[in-house]
Structures are given as structure tokens and as C-alpha cells.
Amino acid sequence: MPGMEFFAPLAVFAFSSLITPGPNNIIIAASGANFGFRRSLPVIFGVSFGFAAMVLFVTFGLAGVFIRYPPAQTVLRMLGFAFMLYLAWKIAAADIDDQRVTGAPPTFAQMALFQWVNPKAWAMSGVAAVAFTTGGNAVIEAVLIALVFLFISLPCQLLWGVFGAAIGDFLRASRRRLRVFNCVMAALMVGAFIPAVMD
């Protein structure tokens, strides 16, 4: 069983990667602001469990597919950008009435699947696979790395949901404020994808 020399740097890497702004956290904050914390829980859990599953499979060797078949990565990147545009449009075009935002946040399944087309998620899981595997038991190491990301991801994503919900009342008090916030969040989401698409 690996010791602190394995878990401590992995936990620091996971926290610094998961707490910083990126497509996932922008979507969570926008959902919290528009729909409240409770309705955003499926978004939060979809990100956390979907990303942990991705880390598990990438660490166990799925990334080798992209080394063998580079065009597959380009196709995935384009699909990711298209899905990002769809999510950004859902946020920017949310139907705002005088009391609330109508519609629904992304589902658990949508956010779990989104991890597979999110360039930041691929980068993080790829670095984790390269940096924190030791050549020991591949299955055990993949499971441990995925579990560390899951347990650190949940509080990080919950924090972004709380942040979004906390500013939600202020934003929902003005249709204009909420519309501007949603458009800015949508633009940030698309902007976060541009460098990956341009590579």
C-alpha cells in the first residue's frame, strides 16, 4: 500500500487542479447562481464522479489509444467544443422571468459525460497518470488515484456551487444582472476551450 510519499503530492496536485476556474467550475457556479445549490447537486456529483471515472480509465491505459490513433483525439476535441457550445448556449439563453430562471441545470449524466470531452479534464488525468503511477500494481494505483480525485473533487465542486448560490439572490434581483452574468459565464466556458481547439 503506498504511503504519504504517494498520497501527499497527489492530493496537492488534485486540489490545485480542481479548485481553480475551468469549464466544470464555471458551469457549477452558473448553475448555483441560476437554480440554487440544491438543484445544482446533480451537476456537482456528475462532475466529481464522472471525472473520477475518467481518471480511473486514463490511468489504467485508455490514454494509449490516443497515442496510437492521434486523429481520435482531434475528433474528441471537436465533439467537446460542440458540446461546450451547447452548454454555453443553455446558460446564456436561460429564460429569465421576474422571479426566477426557468428551465433546468445540466443533468448528472450530461456532466459525467462532459468530462470525456473536456480538455482540462484530459490534461489533468493525463498528468496524474504519468506523474503518480510508480510501476507497481496498475489496477490498485489507478483505483487509488481515482479515489483521491473523487474525495478532493467533491468539496471543491461543492464550494463552487455554494459560491454560485450565494451570489444568486443578488443576481436574480435584476434580470439585466443575471443576463450579463450568464453571458459572461458562457463566454468564459467557450474561451476555456479555445486553446485546446487551436492546438
What tens digit of pLDDT does each residue of 59-115 get?
Answer: 877 655 656 766 766 776 677 677 777 777 877 776 655 445 557 888 999 999 999
Residue 98, pLDDT score = 45
Give the mean pLDDT of 166-178. Answer: 82
Nearest CA among 136, 105, 128, 129 for reference residue 34: 105
| More reliable by pLDDT, 6 or 107 | 107
Give the confidence band of 183 by pLDDT, cuts at 50, 70, 90. confident
> What is the C-alpha separation between 72 and 198, in angstroms, rounded?
16
Give the confidence band of 131 by pLDDT, cuts at 50, 70, 90. confident
**Alpha-carbon distances of 166 from 54, 161, 169, 172, 175, rounded to whole Å:** 30, 8, 7, 11, 17
> What is the C-alpha separation between 47 and 54, in angstroms, rounded?
10
3-class DSSP assignment, residue 96: strand
Residue 125 contacts residue 59 (beta carbons within 8 Å): yes
> What is the C-alpha separation between 79 and 59, in angstroms, rounded?
22
> What is the C-alpha separation between 189 and 193, in angstroms, rounded?
7
Nearest CA among 44, 91, 47, 77 for reference residue 186: 91
> What is the C-alpha separation between 143 and 140, in angstroms, rounded?
5
Percentage above 90 pLDDT, the chain: 29
DSSP-assigned beta bridge partners for residue 96 = 101
DSSP 52-88: HHHHHHIIIIIHHHHHH-HHHHHHHHHHHHHHHHHHH
